[in-house]
Structure 1
Amino acid sequence: MTAILSASELMSELAGPRPPVLLDIRWQLGGPDQRPAYEAGHIPGAVYVDLDRELAGPAGSGGRHPLPEPEAFGAVMRRAGVSAGAPVVVYDGGLGWAAARAWWLLRWTGHAEVRVLDGGLAAWTAAGGAVSADAVSPAEGDFKPTPGGLGLLDADGAAALAREGVLLDARAGERYRGEVEPIDRVGGHIPGAVSAPTTENVGPDGRFLPGAELRARFAGLGVTAEGGGRPVGVYCGSGVSGAHEVLALEVAGVAAALYAGSWSEWSSDPDRPVATGPLPR
């Protein structure tokens, strides 16, 4: 199963014999709750899931968006109608970051049939897809999380991967270089990490570049899809846009681990080293 699907493909599947469960993960970094936007219009049948409250644990020493407890996450997914043997499609407003966070969590906790709507709700409406303001009350699902389906790094693991493999920093280049830091304690990057803004994995419409173009991009950063390549990891500010880069790597045919605590966790400890400037070290 591919990791993404187009709006037209989703329309066909929704009309078919095995329609997927739909999750609406609209989210705005530092912005207002997106539930009112969901209630005003969503893909028919989609259930709203709140990233800050349901796809993350409480902010603290583990970062701004630490992983939720698996059982708490499982309860949220069951309430949303997710079952182990049924396909799931997640979408957001179009940026893709929030949907990728839900995709990553479901894959990490063992769901094998989850995909992201490429281009999100904007792509759906551009393709002529209908939206609905109707309330959605799904039947309870049976999904039970089993963590370990995707690679996960802690701070020590990220530091080691930066030395022994390829650790990609999915944030904007100016934050990587330490020129600005609007959120966290200090600017810069994990020593040895390579700058790879996830915004460069998509076109102007927010849809992922073709797999061949993504493979070429990552190859230029030292990542190869062929066997025998060095292990790959990704981090970002708090584990959201980094999940989007893991998804881009999946589209390119590369498996990558996520450092979920990311820079918000790394930089919170003044004893951890920080590199600045355009070079990894």
Structure 2
Amino acid sequence: MTSPLIAVDELAGRLEEVTVLDVRYRLGGPPGPEEFAAGHVPGASYVDLGAALAGPPGAGGRHPLPAPDVFVAAMRAAGVCNDRPVVVYDDWSGNAAARCWWLLRHHGHRDVRVLDGAWPAWRAAGLPVEQGAPAPAAEPGGFTGEPGAMPVVDVATVRDAGVLVDARAPERYRGEVEPVDPVAGHIPGAVNLPSSANLGPDGRFRPVAELAEAYAAVGATAGADVAVYCGSGVTAAHDVLALEVAGVAAALYPGSWSEWVADPDRPVETS
């Protein structure tokens, strides 16, 4: 199996062969378009997480999945084609990039990879940087994806998972703090493995054996029925990506905690 990750040196040697998507986004951070304009991987197209990778917030959570036609149109505008490899990067430890990776895979694209180490790794390697404001790709892509290729659970089925992983920070999982959503705690029965634990000190994903060991410790092994959630369905995709690196298939709960607590009758655990 080809790894869903790509190293900066490999990407640097394949820029003419792939479509590169810049999905820089950080909650409360600098605006992605401005960061893109200041410098980006040569030839990259900018993709806005809020407009293209999520639907309007509401009862389905803060970052529900985008309507398929909206997502497909955004990918076409960014130059994505069905038969051309795609590489996605951000400056948020791969969290936004993982969301785009998951959506493209979910919509049937078979060759999507995330830049390991994200934008900081590209800069640290001293590789070329291009400047300029976001604009549609010179050649619109012919992407024709439809959703359904990646496993998904919803609010009615999420607790049926054999192993339910909560990708948020441990203090949020335990209900000690909740900086974003109106209720603290976690879905009953969930185990915690924060997305930040997927990375080493250098900002790159940990080796396959280390990831496999960490997830096996909470029961997430190959063949197990695994589902992942977070606060709004974005960083959970980072755990799904890490699990795929480790050889474990996992379903995403897109609504995540923000959808779960929208109904006060749904149970909550703190511990």
Taking the aligned partners of 1:144 and 1:43, their CA distance within structure 2 comes to 25
Question: What displacement does 1:94 show?
Answer: 4.6
Taking the aligned partners of 1:134 and 1:243, their CA distance within structure 2 comes to 29
State the aligned residue count. 268
Instruction: Give unpaired runs (5+ residues) of structure 1.
Output: none
Deviates more, 1:28-37 or 1:207-216: 28-37
Alignment of 1:132-171 (within 5 A): 132-134=130-132, 137-161=137-161, 165-171=162-168
Percent of counterpart pairs with the same letter? 58
Counterpart for residue 38 of structure 1: 36
Counterpart for residue 263 of structure 2: 269
RMSD: 1.1
Counterpart for residue 254 of structure 2: 260
The answer to whether residue 247 in structure 2 is matched with residue 247 in structure 1 is no
* TM-score of the two chains, using structure 1 as the length reference: 0.93
Taking the aligned partners of 1:180 and 1:134, their CA distance within structure 2 comes to 40
Please point out which of 191, 196, 199 is paired with 1:194: 191
Please point out which of 50, 56, 66 is paired with 2:64: 66
- The CA deviation string for residues 7-33 of structure 1, in whole angstroms up to 9 with x for no partner, is 011112225xxx110000000113342
Taking the aligned partners of 1:138 and 1:157, their CA distance within structure 2 comes to 42
Counterpart for residue 20 of structure 1: 18
Alignment of 1:97-136 (within 5 A): 97-134=95-132
- The CA deviation string for residues 20-79 of structure 1, in whole angstroms up to 9 with x for no partner, is 100000001133421011001000100011101211000000000000001110000000
Counterpart for residue 80 of structure 2: 82
Alpha-carbon distance change, 241 to 271 in structure 1, aligned in 2, over 3 angstroms:
same
Q: Are the equivalent residues in 2 in contact too, given 1:6–1:118 (CA < 8 A)? A: yes
Question: What displacement does 1:138 show?
Answer: 2.6
Taking the aligned partners of 2:220 and 2:32, their CA distance within structure 1 comes to 36
Which residue identity lines up with residue 79 of structure 1 in the other structure? A
Question: What displacement does 1:149 show?
Answer: 1.0
* TM-score of the two chains, using structure 2 as the length reference: 0.96
Instruction: Give unpaired runs (5+ residues) of structure 2.
Output: none
Counterpart for residue 182 of structure 1: 179
Question: What displacement does 1:121 show?
Answer: 1.0
Taking the aligned partners of 2:76 and 2:114, their CA distance within structure 1 comes to 19
